[in-house]
Amino acid sequence: MGEDRMEKDPFKRMFGSLEELVDQIRGVLECPVTIEDVNHRLLAYSTHDDQTDTARIATIISRKVPEKVINRLWKERVIPQLMQSGEPLRIPKIKEIGLGNRVAISIRNHNEVLGYIWAVEEESALTENKLKLLKLAAQSARTELLKLNAQKKKRVEGYQDFFWELLTGHFQDHKKIKERFEDLNIKPPSPFAVLAFQFKEEITPKIEQKIIYLITTSQKINITFYAAMENEFIILAAPPEPALSEKIFIEFIQFFIDQMKTRFNIRHISGATGTIYDRYEKVESSYQEALKVLRLKEQFTEEIQHVYSYQQLGIFRYLEVILEKKRKEPYEHPAIEKLIKYDTEHRTNLLATLEAFIDHDSNVSDTAKKLHVHMNTLNYRLKRITDIGKVDLKNTNTKLSLYLELKIRRMEKKSPHL
């Protein structure tokens, strides 16, 4: 096609598939082309010569854009620009990730991004006329992607029904659950865990799209199902390799919280993972464990702020059980009663000092910094605590019992109906 010749619209016709459309775009623009969905999964690609770059080859082989490429394009503000505009965007070569010169454009339905077209600029840059043709190609691709999205929505709705049945313990037979996976043509995850994220506000469709984008493009864990409910987002996932421990899930939770803030300015997210299991009837157990971690993190913001898994909870796992027993058999630790009485009468804070001291593993320096007092002041308070409460702060059993009593007391105040 001549450099300055502009056809009316070479894409204004029916295409039998995205493959036909991508070949037409390749013929019109005279360069290799790919079409991706909004989460950077490869939908169709054209032919290319032997000199094409490694990023394109890796995308075609794995059927999705490599995570390192996506992360770099975010860092270079490429993807945010594509999300905000429907105009073609020229991307210079990024040698470190194997990306050659590109021109990209978002495929849009009004303000919603459905996907992207990427054109590789090989020997020469696309002319202004070809950039206009690329815009026409994006309009044509819109129709095809809307069809695909409608089909995908039906599948996802069917998957989510099954996911909620697993989360609520509807199935209790491992074999039957496995058969259901096979009926839906889904590879059963093994081992697996349920991850739960709690947002400050209700998850809107717009926020859900951003969440799905992030979990789909991260490629750190294998996600089988996901679902949103009010301010909660739940994932059923498997590690990339069966031998990997829960560490991979914890790293994903930290990554998710950080990137939701960095990329989308969505803050105040709490995340947790339940235990890893290989029996599918344990999905509900893993889910409830993740919820318990979130619930306790909300109650004990300082003590377990860096806890992300049920296993990491340690003794906090048993606080609810101990609290329930205490309600049936009321008991108050004598030392705590004495300190409460003394604090009330003398307007002191010896009980808070005791809790901080035990929280910091009896480290005087760390406790003093936490309380913003001089170490001499702290030592004086500790002597008063010992004298008034009649406790031995060098005795491990004594400190452990006080620690549990103090945490249960705080839990009872925050959850009076637990």
Neighbouring C-alpha atoms within 13 Å toward the C-beta of 311: 10
List phi, psi (to 5°) of 308.
-125, -5
**Superfamily classification of domain 168-321:** ACT domain (3.30.70.260)
**Bridge partner list, 237:** 193, 223
Please write the tens of the pLDDT for every residue from 136-186.
999 999 988 998 888 888 777 778 899 999 999 998 888 999 999 998 889
DSSP class of residue 142?
H
Would strands 112-120 and 102-109 be described as parallel, antiparallel, or unpaired? antiparallel
Q: Do residues 46 and 22 lie in contact, with contact meaning Cβ atoms separated by under 8 Å?
A: yes
Please write the tens of the pLDDT for every residue from 106-133.
999 988 999 999 999 988 899 999 999 9
Which CATH class, in words, describes the domain spanning 18-151? alpha beta
pLDDT above 90 covers a percentage of the chain that reads 76
Look at residue 171 and give its three-state secondary structure: coil
- Rounded CA-CA distance 20/32 in Å is 14
CA dihedral 255, 261, 266, 270 (to 10 degrees): 40
In our burial notation (b when 16+ CB lie closer than 10 A, e otherwise), range 36-59 reads bbbbbebbbbbebeeeebebbebb
Q: Where do runs of H (alpha helix) occur along 64-186?
A: 67-75, 78-84, 128-167, 174-183
Banded pLDDT at 415 (limits 50, 70, 90): low
pTM over 0.85: no
Provide the pLDDT for residue 417.
Answer: 47
**Superfamily classification of domain 332-414:** PucR C-terminal helix-turn-helix domain (1.10.10.2840)
Please write the tens of the pLDDT for every residue from 51-80.
788 999 999 999 999 999 999 999 999 999
Please write the tens of the pLDDT for every residue from 208-228.
999 999 999 998 999 999 999
Topology agreement, domain 168-321 and domain 332-414: no
What residue ranges do the domains of the chain occupy? 18-151, 168-321, 332-414
Q: In a 10 Å sphere around its CB, with 0-12 CB exposed, 13-18 middle and 19+ buried, how is residue 241 labelled? A: exposed
Look at residue 178 and give its three-state secondary structure: helix
